[in-house]
């Protein structure tokens, strides 16, 4: 029995060469009728692996080509220059590059290597759509904070360059960067209606085991790499947990005298030159998919997992939890620092999931108009939840001054220890400085989140809330809910007693929390003008909030 699957390849930098024998195993499994790969996706090095598989690459020929690259030192130094932070000269060179907005690596040289590699692998396709199966190559749009999927008419090599454009290393500015920054294991590109199994088969991830040791941070450059890796690893861990361990193939990264590293080009060539390492990976992948196929063909069969494998899984979970905890700690530190006062704080929700025709994802728009105190502001932190949908699919955070000029920022999505929340940490490129005049700033945060508002129609009740945790005070707080016009609701103050009576699960009350009483302002003409066509507006408003106050409204269907 042939099992249909979809493959998502994890990004891994120089670990790319480990995918070569894995792809050979997958090709042989298809020829033997064990699996049928219907679609593939990938980010960064994973995007290259996905395109190689979808292009039916001749892997032995590709490996021979890659072995020859080691001797082309001038070309390789253009793409992957050695960055020396140990000497004053090296530090000066790095500083000069940054000051001139000049990346360290050469994209044009990388494009030449990729083009020659695909020719060596005997891939004739030139566009995404001309590959043998659908291939979803993702890149990161850091302006809108969302993953982009390359369209079928795009050139393969150009898409791979964009998906591998590591910030600072290959690009210093622009919108599109390395896809791994936002989603290093893009399973969402293969999901349909948030499902992990579709008519194309189950989604299976092909990635790498987590390293059991991380070298100490010895320089600002290494610190930057470690922060980037931590952010990438946290999102990857979330995707793997969503799939479950029985749908994740993890390639080993440690062999005799060779440890594969994201930024170590020597390990890339070591795999290309070692038939022993290639054989270990190829056999491991082949055995994994044979066992997977057998379990899917015989779902009633009980598979006994060895104690050593269980211990290894536990160790892996501890490492992932530790990395996520460090990022959460950083977000928590910034979250506790407040030097702003809100003029208004607004949550606006458009419940597209409640539409009877062509329902879509619910949209959550946050807007904070604020003034700063007498100290600079370096960051913003907000906490999102998607307990009904389980996943925030799109996320954008922007800050503007009173002249409408955007304040550059870099945004990190940090999962919490429960799994249905995200910390959104925005670090400003330049701090917002106090000024003599009272300037007002605006923060906009936009998310799309599955079927979050479905309980209104499925259970008859739901709630929305704003807690003032990022400012000392707010003149006004407002919650707007737009629902299809055929849905009529009653709004009530969201007390704990009402939440319990409506059987709405609510988080425990935080220390110092005070529920403020809101009022119905649904007839406000300004709100009605902003309401989408064929929707009805419900507005809950309160004034004069202090730090820790909560505005909460419960919606009940008439």
Q: Which residues are catalytic?
A: 44, 178
**Paired tokens of 461:** 């009740």
What residues contact residue 461 under an 8 Å CB cut-off, 6+ apart? 455, 502, 503, 504, 554, 555, 556, 557
Tokens 């702003």 belong to residue: 340
Q: Are 51 and 115 in contact (CB under 8 A)?
A: no
CB of 383 closer than 8 Å to CB of 347: no
Q: At residue 87, what are phi and psi to the nearest 5 degrees?
A: -120, 160
DSSP conformation letters of 414-463:
EE-SSSSEEEEEEEEEEEEPP-SS---EEEEEEEE-TTTTTHHHHTSEEE
Tokens encoding 383: 């906490």
> What is the C-alpha radius of gyration for the chain, rounded to an integer number of angstroms?
25
Q: Which of 309, 178, 186 is nearest to 242 (CA)?
A: 186
Report which of 194, 167, 191, 190 is spatially closest to residue 178, judged by C-alpha positions: 167
- The helix/strand/coil state of 555 is strand
How remote is the C-alpha of 163 from its chain's centroid? 14
CB 399, CB 406: distance < 8 Å: yes
Q: In the block, which residue shows the tokens 């499925």?
A: 458
Of 203, 266, 213, 247, residue with least CA distance to 66: 266
């Amino acid at each position: 029995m042939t099992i249909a699957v979809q493959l998502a390849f994890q990004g891994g930098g120089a670990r790319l060469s480990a995918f070569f024998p894995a792809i050979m195993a997958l090709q042989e499994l298809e020829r033997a009728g064990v699996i049928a790969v219907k679609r593939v996706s990938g980010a960064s090095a994973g995007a290259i692996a996905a395109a190689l598989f979808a292009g039916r690459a001749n892997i032995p020929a590709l490996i021979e080509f890659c072995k020859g690259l080691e001797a082309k030192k001038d070309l390789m130094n253009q793409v992957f220059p050695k960055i020396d932070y140990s000497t004053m000269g090296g530090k000066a060179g790095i500083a000069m590059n940054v000051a001139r907005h000049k990346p360290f690596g050469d994209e044009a040289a990388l494009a030449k290597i990729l083009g020659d590699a695909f020719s060596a692998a005997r891939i004739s396709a030139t566009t995404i759509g001309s590959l043998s199966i659908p291939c979803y190559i993702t890149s990161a749009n850091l302006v809108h904070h969302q993953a982009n999927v390359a369209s079928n008419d795009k050139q393969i090599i150009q898409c791979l360059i964009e998906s591998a454009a590591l910030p600072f290393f290959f690009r210093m500015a622009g919108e599109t960067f390395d896809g791994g920054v936002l989603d290093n294991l893009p399973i969402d590109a293969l999901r349909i209606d948030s499902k992990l199994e579709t008519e194309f088969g189950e989604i299976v991830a092909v990635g790498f085991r987590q390293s059991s040791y991380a070298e100490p941070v010895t320089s600002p450059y290494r610190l930057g790499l470690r922060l980037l890796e931590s952010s990438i690893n946290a999102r990857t861990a979330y995707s793997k947990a969503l799939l479950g361990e029985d749908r994740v193939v993890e390639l080993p990264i440690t062999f005799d005298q060779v440890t594969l590293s994201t930024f170590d080009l020597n390990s890339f060539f070591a795999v290309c030159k070692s038939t022993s390492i290639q054989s270990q990976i190829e056999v491991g992948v082949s055995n994994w998919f044979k066992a997977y196929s057998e379990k899917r063909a015989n779902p009633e069969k009980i598979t006994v997992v060895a104690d050593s494998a269980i211990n290894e899984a536990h160790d892996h979970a501890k490492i992932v939890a530790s990395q996520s905890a460090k990022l959460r700690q950083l977000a928590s530190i910034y979250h506790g620092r407040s030097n702003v006062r809100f003029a208004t704080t607004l949550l606006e929700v458009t419940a597209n999931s409640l539409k009877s025709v062509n329902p879509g994802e619910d949209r959550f728009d946050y807007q904070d108009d604020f003034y700063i105190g007498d100290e600079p502001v370096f960051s913003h932190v907000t906490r999102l939840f998607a307990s009904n949908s389980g996943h925030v699919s799109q996320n954008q955070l922007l800050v503007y001054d009173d002249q409408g000029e955007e304040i550059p920022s870099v945004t990190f999505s940090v999962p919490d220890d429960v799994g249905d929340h995200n910390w959104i940490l925005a670090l400003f490129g330049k701090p917002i400085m106090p000024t003599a005049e009272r300037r007002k700033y605006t923060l906009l945060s936009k998310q799309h989140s599955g079927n979050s508002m479905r309980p209104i129609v499925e259970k008859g009740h739901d709630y929305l809330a704003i807690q003032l945790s990022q400012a000392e005070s707010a003149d006004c707080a407002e919650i707007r809910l737009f629902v299809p016009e055929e849905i009529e609701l009653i709004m009530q103050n969201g007390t704990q007693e009402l939440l319990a009576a409506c059987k709405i699960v609510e988080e425990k009350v935080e220390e110092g929390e005070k529920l403020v009483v809101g009022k119905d302002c649904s007839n406000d003409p300004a709100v009605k003008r902003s309401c989408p066509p064929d929707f009805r507006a419900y507005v809950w408003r309160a004034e004069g909030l202090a730090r820790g106050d909560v505005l909460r409204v419960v919606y009940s269907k008439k």
